[in-house]
Amino acid sequence: MDRLLVLARHGQSEWNLKNLFTGWKDPGLTELGIEEARNAGRRLKELGVQFDVAYTSALSRAQLTCKLILEEIGQPDLKTIADQALNERDYGDLSGLNKDDARTRWGEDQVHIWRRSYDVPPPGGESLKDTVARALPYYIREILPRVMRGERVLVAAHGNSLRALVMVLDGLTAETIPSLELATGIPLVYKLNADTTVASKEVLEG
């Protein structure tokens, strides 16, 4: 049994490029983002990876990333399940704002707390803790059982929703998870043991 789980953050979005808080807003991928997604697929193809099912969020940047990865590995028609449980963290009132402008308005320290604390949400939005509370039960209920049955699963989603999964997989804490950065378009390849712990992890950079 493979018990293979691949996590991939979407490629660069138009708002990543413009340094804007994105959250549940739905900008598309840049040309670089499209290429990052295709490169992720190529690296997985080089490993000989094939999937039994794919999961993604309700947002188009993750869905397109998933689609491009699957095209590159020759599985364009693979069953793909989209759910907003895997959406990016909702940045509330910050959504659509330039990060530098937000610092000018609320101050460097306050914006840093909103971005990097575990449990302090921005106005009208979600903390990382809130995102974990949304994404992790979905992972445990829907995704993990498939992996444990030996299915090979791709999850193409977002920096914060994927951090919720990595938090459990890598044994991170509320203190250490906020400092974790997931690069756009870089797949994380996990193989799990029979007790759901991580047997191996490979970061497909380059």
The DSSP line for 95-139 is: TT-BHHHHHHHH-HHHHHHHHH-SS-PPTTS--HHHHHHHHHHHI
pLDDT at residue number 114: 94
Instruction: Inform me whether the pLDDT recorded for 206 exceeds 80.
Output: no
Please compute the mean of the pLDDT values over residues 198-202 and round it to a whole number: 97
* Per-residue confidence band for 21, with pLDDT thresholds at 50, 70 and 90: very high
C-alpha pair distances (Å), 165 with each of 9, 67, 178: 12, 21, 13
% of the chain residues with pLDDT over 90: 94
* Residue for token pair 């099912």: 53
C-alpha to C-alpha distance for 109 and 3, rounded to whole angstroms: 42
Is 10 annotated as catalytic? Answer: yes
Sketch the domain layout of the chain as residue ranges.
4-203
Is 112 annotated as catalytic? Answer: no
The three-class DSSP label of residue 94 is helix
Please identify which of the residues 10, 36, 126, 158 carries the catalytic annotation: 10
Tell me the pLDDT tens digit for each residue of 69-114: 999 999 999 999 999 999 999 999 999 999 999 999 999 999 999 9
* Per-residue confidence band for 178, with pLDDT thresholds at 50, 70 and 90: confident
C-alpha to C-alpha distance for 186 and 10, rounded to whole angstroms: 9
The CATH number of the domain covering residues in 4-203: 3.40.50.1240
Quick one: tokens of 133?
């509370």
The 8-class DSSP code of residue 149 comes to T
pLDDT at residue number 144: 97
* Per-residue confidence band for 179, with pLDDT thresholds at 50, 70 and 90: confident
The 8-class DSSP code of residue 10 comes to P
CB 123 within 8 A of CB 93: yes
Q: Which helix (H) or strand (E) holds 33?
A: helix 31-46
Quick one: tokens of 64?
């397109």
Please identify which of the residues 36, 46, 71, 88 carries the catalytic annotation: 88
Mean pLDDT of the chain: 96
